[in-house]
Amino acid sequence: MHQETGHRVPVLVVGGSLVGLSLSLFLGRQGVRHTLVERHPGTSVHPRGRGNNVRTMELFRVAGIEADIRAAASLLAGNHGILRTRSLAGDGGAWLFRHIDPDGSLARHSPTSWCLCSQNDLEPVLLDGARELGGDLRFGHEMESFAQDPEGVTAVVRDRERATRYTVRADCLVAADGPRSPVRRRLGIGHSGRGDLFHNVSVTFRSRLLADVVGDRRFLCCYLNGPEADGALLPVDNKEHWVFHAPWHPERGERPEDFTAERCARHIRRATGVPDLDVEITGRASWHAAERVADRYGQGRVLLAGDAAHEMSPTGAFGSNTGIQDAHNLAWKLAAVLGGWAGPGLLETYGTERRPVALATGARASARSVEHAHPGFSPAPGLIEAGRGDGLLDIVLGHHYPEGAVVGAGENRPAPDPLRPAGRPGSRAPHLWLRRPGGRLSTLDLYERSLVLLDDARGTAGWQQAAHRVARSAAVPLDAHRIGPGPGADLALDGDPGDDSGPPDFARAHGITTEGALLVRPDGFVAWRSEKAAADPEATLRKVLAELLRRD
């Protein structure tokens, strides 16, 4: 096989599924040059991983692709809720939940909302967005080996189509190469957790008559638990394309190849309760639901993300969302370290922050499978007890980082209300609507490419001027905004249309006085805050930045 000359790049991403593509997009938004290699010839063709939660959509909103994703997801825009029934042939059954946000209260916490976009529809949007930003994405290229040294990583990559090999020299390697991650295994990193939970075979099929049977029940998913056959039915277009998850029991000696087209069609007819249903099987793929988290999220200059770092039950789509949020957390830290405005120790905070989130979220995903009685899942008694967990929004928006790239650890007790953290260091910064010339924006739209210092326009402590001086002298990307009423404001608060209560109080919403300030990271998490004025704002900010960014 021909060996080509080497390739030099700051970041090599291994794996081009949802997490790898999201990382490429986020790195591109940060201006970090990178190469992504994916052994498959193209993006996913299987409609899976469809639930994108509100936090993930916030990230895609800031990255500029929310509208494209919603356009790609338009066929299922009217689908809501999860139905459980013994048969579709009738009006029986019960909704596990009818709407994710039945009372519209989510609008108080976020400028966006959930989006049902299947992986095969989402990945092309991510791919286009990443390439528009200059990402070098190479499908049909497989990393065969890698070695790292104190200065970087050298990888050998094979172009599967041309049958050639070449080397890639990178400062850092990020492995988003799936639950059986060869990179994680090569590093000798183990994992912990409950292990395998249950197994399914995902079957794609066509049926023109099924839409009439479903009627106006526009569900996200329907759990069918009849006495003859069980499984989960998911619409692809609400017309003739569908997905059915059939329970698979390898512990009984079943093999994926046992799920023939005939067997799958017969199973679907029995589960739906329609013996003469037209079923044309178009694809099959086996998968495992598991709960595992890597013992550490990297070694040296090699880092893990997505399923390479954690596996979760698919109930609730926690796994893909957690992986995308891993990528977002990591992207700004790579940009800071490679850009020279943070020390290498900042990358160590990636695992410090994200691993506890995976542990908590993985346990909640397993518990949700218990609550939903997912077909094919027979949980152990201990897991049944663990099934009484936090609310969905608490998990999605309420997690916090008690340590990591956060200053002021003494404040980092969990907030009494996870959805109203009020600017606590380590929590997601609150959403408030703002007004500026040219339109309306959320406070969350301010955070992406730089650190951001916010203070109240009514204050006189001099935080903004101090931030500008520190940014210039310390060569740190640091923006500053004064928010609220008054002549000193560059961003005005804007009330919710139709809300007679008027705009909220910026300082109170962020847990500071009118003389205080807070520092928000590029990923939208609060890094530090001062509730009151500081005797020397400039010196205070210098000290905070040195600690936050691990600058020696």
- Cα of 369 vs its chain's centroid, Å: 19
Residues 19 and 149 in one domain: yes
Q: What is the CATH number of the domain that holds 411?
A: 3.40.30.120
Residues 284 and 304 in one domain: no
Tokens of 509: 């919403």
H/E element holding 286?
Answer: strand 280-294
H/E element holding 73?
Answer: none
Q: Which residues pair with 75 in a beta bridge?
A: none
* Residue 86 lies inside a defined structural domain of this protein: no
Q: Given 329, 362, 394, which residue is the final one in a domain?
A: 394
Residues 271 and 306 in one domain: no
Residue 507, pLDDT score:
94
Strands 433-436 and 492-493: antiparallel
Q: What is the CATH number of the domain that holds 227?
A: 3.30.9.10
| Nearest C-alpha neighbor of 350 from the set 314, 425, 424, 300 | 300
Count each helix (H run) and each strand (E run) in the chain, helices first. Answer: 14, 26
Residues 455 and 508 in one domain: yes
Q: In whole angstroms, give the CA distance from residue 205 to residue 94.
A: 25
Residues 353 and 407 in one domain: no
Residues 124 and 153 in one domain: yes
Residue 181, pLDDT score:
97
Residues 138 and 225 in one domain: no
* Residue 337 lies inside a defined structural domain of this protein: yes
Where do the H-state alpha helices sit in 305-449?
Answer: 318-338, 348-372, 381-386, 392-397
List the chain pLDDT tens, one digit each, 552 residues: 445 567 999 999 999 999 999 999 999 999 999 999 999 999 988 877 788 999 999 999 999 999 999 999 999 999 999 999 999 987 678 998 888 888 888 888 999 999 999 999 999 999 999 999 999 999 999 999 999 999 999 999 999 999 999 999 999 999 999 999 999 999 999 999 999 898 999 999 999 999 999 999 999 999 998 888 899 999 999 999 999 999 999 999 999 999 999 999 999 999 999 999 999 999 999 988 899 999 999 999 999 999 999 999 888 789 999 999 999 999 999 999 999 999 999 999 999 999 999 999 999 888 888 877 777 777 766 554 554 455 778 888 888 899 999 998 665 565 557 677 789 999 999 999 999 888 899 999 999 999 999 999 999 999 999 999 999 999 999 999 999 887 789 999 987 544 445 557 899 999 999 999 999 999 999 999 999 999 999 999 999 999 999 997
The domain containing residue 213 runs over which residues?
A: 193-290
Residue 498, pLDDT score:
40
* Residue 201 lies inside a defined structural domain of this protein: yes
Residues 489 and 380 in one domain: no
Residues 184 and 320 in one domain: yes
The answer to whether 9 and 136 are in contact (CB under 8 A) is yes
The total number of residues written for the chain in this structure: 552
Tokens of 306: 């997505």
* Residue 367 lies inside a defined structural domain of this protein: yes
Residues 48 and 184 in one domain: yes
Domains identified in the chain, total number = 3
Q: In whole angstroms, give the CA distance from residue 496 to residue 41.
A: 46
Q: How many CB atoms lie within 10 A of CB 154?
A: 17
Q: What is the dihedral of CA 331, 333, 334, 338, to 10 degrees?
A: 140
* Residue 95 lies inside a defined structural domain of this protein: no
Q: What is the CATH number of the domain that holds 332?
A: 3.50.50.60
Residues 372 and 453 in one domain: no
Residues 282 and 312 in one domain: no
Which residues lie closer than 8 Å to 336 by C-beta, 6 or more apart? 342, 346, 549
